[in-house]
Amino acid sequence: MKIIMLGAPGAGKGTQAKMIAAKYGIPHVSTGDIFRANIKNGTELGKEAKKYMDQGLLVPDELTVKILLDRVAQADCANGYVLDGFPRTIPQAEVLDKALAELGDAIDIAIDVDVPDENIVKRMSGRRACLNCGATYHVEHIPPRKEGICDNCGQALVLRDDDKPETVLNRLAVYHSQTQPLIDYYTAKGILKTVDGTVDMEEVFAAIVELLENK
């Protein structure tokens, strides 16, 4: 099963994608996580990506597409994957579709996690991320067992550089202009499904599982 998670920044794409990956035994592929790992390791790609990410802008398609296509060509993706944060522009979606079509393959479902803008800024300021293992928490909704420490790997949790309120507003504007058109794109292909992302994360997950099981 090849799944795309759509939704505004902070809608819960990453939270749900990790739960899907664990339940169905497929890799969770997040371009944002790949960029953050590169920033942490000081690679050239990380330095380039950081220039855009810190302003809430998209990393250019040329850089992003190559990384994603390399990642999904790896052996662990052979039985499917859940994409989180890719595609984010129509050209990215077209490149992905073309690459899959060349293999006689296609995306099975695109799930839009719907959360209104007014909920987003509040969520983001409470998010804490582990840059070591990619786990995310929320100071109120999903707190770690020990404040400031990752449950999985024991590393310190941080507020992501791009989660400051002014950057979040930029990310939302970029989302509406460049990423939201993908909803029409996947609707036209007949594979778009929407879930309410404002409810408890377990309820969101139950709605997603229902969609996946009834496909």
- Per DSSP, 160 falls in state -
Q: Which residue is nearest to Mg ion, using beta carbons?
A: 14
Catalytic residue among 2, 13, 128, 193: 13
Measured CA distances, 180 to 44, 81, 94, 111, 166 (Å)? 30, 22, 15, 12, 20
Active site residue 66: no
Instruction: Answer with the entry of ligand AP5, Mg ion, none that 31 interacts with (C-beta below 5 to 8 A by kind).
Output: ligand AP5
* Residue 41 beta carbon to ligand AP5: minimum distance, rounded to whole angstroms: 16
3-state secondary structure of 207: helix
Measured CA distances, 76 to 26, 27, 29, 161, 213 (Å)? 8, 7, 11, 30, 22
- CB nearer ligand AP5, residue 26 or residue 182: 182
d(CA 59, CA 63): 7
* Residue 61 beta carbon to ligand AP5: minimum distance, rounded to whole angstroms: 7
Catalytic residue among 71, 123, 128, 160: 160
Residue in 7, 11, 203 with CA at minimum distance from that of residue 119: 11
Residues 6+ apart with CB under 8 A from 173: 56
Structure tokens at 103: 């293999």
Active site residue 171: yes
Active site residue 36: no
Residue in 10, 6, 11, 22 with CA at minimum distance from that of residue 209: 22
Catalytic residue among 123, 127, 128, 193: 127
Residues at the interface with ligand AP5 (CB under 6 A): 7, 9-15, 30-32, 35, 52-53, 56-59, 64, 85-86, 88, 92, 123, 126-127, 136-138, 141-142, 162, 171, 197, 200-201, 204
* Residue 55 beta carbon to Mg ion: minimum distance, rounded to whole angstroms: 17
Q: Which residue is nearest to ligand AP5, using beta carbons?
A: 32
Residues at the interface with Mg ion (CB under 5 A): 14
* Residue 46 beta carbon to ligand AP5: minimum distance, rounded to whole angstroms: 11
Active site residue 13: yes
Query: Which residues are the active-site residues?
Result: 13, 88, 127, 160, 171
